Structure 1
Amino acid sequence: MSYFKVFIIGFLSILLLSFGQSLAKATLGGELPSGQDWRTARRDSTGMAPDPAQLRDTAIVQIYAAHTYGWRGLVAVHPWIIFKPAGATQYSRYEVIGWGGIDAVRHNYTIPDGYWFGARPTLLVDHRGARAEAMIPRIEAAIGSYPYGKTYRSWPGPNSNTFLAHIGREVPELKLDLPANAIGKDYRPLTHPIGLPPSGKGLQVSLLGVLGFTLGVEEGVEVNILGINLGVDIKSPALRLPFIGRLGYAKVAGDDN
């Protein structure tokens, strides 16, 4: 058997196993639509974000990601960022959404830490205090400089994951590690195929997010084939897998890691 056949068999096996794990997790977690209307899907608070009124004097920056609605939730996630400076009693939430308006970038589309159409989010980043305070102006500048504010494509991008990857590159202190199933995070225009990974530290080579590789401080080593990502996180040992994102140690980027 040739090496190419071994590679194809191994690649397809990983895809099938990862998809099976994603399907099982979504089924057990009740995240599959099962006929429910998106308008009635759960959108209330998860209680994950700190109470901004109780921490009025503390600056906070957090990034979340949740499985997208419907069948796409089996293969991809939707991320967003929330933040508040010291003295504020409310969060600002930013994300990219592909429906309901000309502008893709939305401000306070919904509550800061809500379920995303029935899916409970995962916390990716949690910074507080002086470091968070210093990040916020740069985060706001990155939001303002996002180059695809009126463009949205689910695959290969630009989309909501492209937006957060842009912020991560502009503010590497976030230590953002978007998971392997954040389809669109690797989108780069053909005119700029080489640059920083979403964590802002390392090297990424990518052709429109369809073919490439990433070597990042937070990401480790990751290969992208048709938007399907496979890799290994070395810093916080884990496998980076399509559909399920991460298999290994839990990881939340904060001031202590």
Structure 2
Amino acid sequence: MMVVLSRILLVIIGLFILPLSTHALWWTLREDVAPNWRAADWSSAKLLPSVSQAPQAIVAVYAARVGRWRGIFAHHTWIVVKEAGASQYTRYDKVGWGSPVRTNGWAPDGRWFGNAPHPVALIEGEDAQRLIPQIREAVTTYPYAAYGSYNAWPGPNSNTFVAHVLRSVPELNAALPPTALGKDWRPLQDLVGLTPSRTGVQISLAGYAGLALGWVEGIELDFMGLVAGIDIRRPALKIPAWGRIGMDPITW
């Protein structure tokens, strides 16, 4: 029994603790980490075209590192939509303060705590126009939108919200980054289910541990919110704290 426990401990250290420790060391050496909320840059990262230059419908999902020490291991994710001919983008975030689901709280492609976002999904044209009503409906039906329902770890949090939208609109065909802490949170009474893309199966012990096997999500092993895995569809490694290393997760 002790031998088995020792091997499990070694696996946990090798797969999760060691990557987390090395990324924490790298993060502390950075000189561009904003010290607080007020000092951070929240401006547009200029990833989206102006509405005058893009009359087509657009759907985007973005992820950016969170602030201060939490950026060692976590990303924040959000959703942006714009109907064809619309005069502005609409951004949706779930945060732990203010309105339960924030609408247009920040620039649609804004930096998060000074950290530039990267796209998780980007759809344009007729496909985007068709999905936008479903996305707006998913936003309104998020079951943990009430005040007091936000829990930074292990969830439900901002990434649980985006995972809910992906699950409600699987045609988005996207997987959140492995560092989207809370994306795999499920209530204990909902232990087993489909992955957000509905292309596989997910098991989650309330976000403390879990396993996902899906064509879009790949193979993911979750331990205390840290995710290790492999993307087979678009080859890449998923390394705890460091994130995804390999092929771009979306097709441009």
User: Fold match, TM over 0.5?
Assistant: yes
1:249 maps to what in 2? 247
Q: How does 1:49-198 map onto structure 2 within 5 Å? A: 49-56=48-55, 58-99=56-97, 101=98, 103-150=99-146, 151-198=149-196
1-structure distance, mates of 2:190, 2:7: 33
The count of corresponding residues between Structure 1 and Structure 2 is: 248
Whether the 8 Å contact between 1:174 and 1:253 is mirrored in structure 2 is no
Question: Any gaps of 5 or more consecutive residues in structure 1?
Answer: none
- Give the equivalent residue in structure 1 for 2:233: 235
Relative to the length of structure 2, the TM-score reads 0.92
Work out whether residues 84 and 129 of structure 2, in 8 Å CA contact, stay in contact via their aligned partners in 1. yes
State the match for 2:14 in structure 1: 13
Identity over aligned pairs, percent: 42
Whether the aligned pair in 1 keeps the contact of 2:36 and 2:68 (CA below 8 Å) is no
Counterparts of 1:211 and 1:11 in 2: how far apart (Å)? Answer: 12
Do the aligned partners of 1:84 and 1:91 also contact (CA within 8 Å) in 2?
yes
Whether the aligned pair in 1 keeps the contact of 2:194 and 2:201 (CA below 8 Å) is: yes
- CA distance 1:209–1:253, change in 2 (3 Å): farther
Pairwise CA distance, 1:43: 0.8
- Label 1:128 to 1:106 Cα distance change in 2 as closer, same or farther (>3 A): same
Runs of 5+ consecutive residues of structure 2 not aligned to the other structure: none
Secondary structure, counterpart of 1:6 in structure 2: helix
Contact persistence 1:236–1:249 (CA under 8 A): yes
Superposition misfits of 4+ residues, deviation over 6 angstroms? none
Q: Does 1:219 align with 2:241?
A: no
Amino acid at match of 2:189: T
| TM-score where L is the length of structure 1 | 0.90
- Partners in 2 of 1:156 and 1:177 — Cα distance? 18
